[in-house]
């Protein structure tokens, strides 16, 4: 993946939009969804650190907020 991942704030309907650069990867409703999007984008979900600010830009709340 060439771009940093951006996880948007929780939407009013629930879930967080996930982007890599300008590409929307999907809407994650939990950490498992996020890891699946990262896997599809070419990252190894077993080794990726979603708390690494160089990789993931959490907008609004951090990785514990999904609702």
Q: Nearest-5° angle of CA 56, CA 62, CA 64?
A: 120
Backbone angles phi, psi at 56, to 5 degrees: -120, 125
Q: In this predicted model, what pLDDT tens digit does every residue of 16-49 receive, in sequence order?
A: 999 998 899 999 999 999 999 999 999 999 999 9
In the predicted model, what is the mean pLDDT of residues 1-10? Answer: 86
Cβ atoms 16, 27 nearer than 8 A: yes
Indicate whether 27 belongs to any domain: yes
Q: In terms of residue numbers, what domain contains 30?
A: 5-58
Indicate whether 65 belongs to any domain: no
Indicate whether 36 belongs to any domain: yes
* pTM of the model as a whole: 0.89
Predicted pLDDT at 21: 85
Indicate whether 67 belongs to any domain: no
Indicate whether 14 belongs to any domain: yes
Q: How many domains does the chain contain in total?
A: 1
Indicate whether 23 belongs to any domain: yes
Indicate whether 41 belongs to any domain: yes
């Amino acid at each position: 993946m060439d771009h940093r991942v951006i996880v948007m704030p929780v939407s009013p309907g629930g879930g967080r939009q996930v982007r890599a650069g300008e590409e929307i990867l999907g809407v994650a409703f939990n950490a498992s969804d996020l890891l699946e999007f990262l896997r599809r984008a070419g990252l190894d979900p077993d080794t990726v650190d979603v708390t690494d600010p160089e990789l993931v830009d959490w907008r609004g709340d951090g990785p514990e907020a999904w609702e």
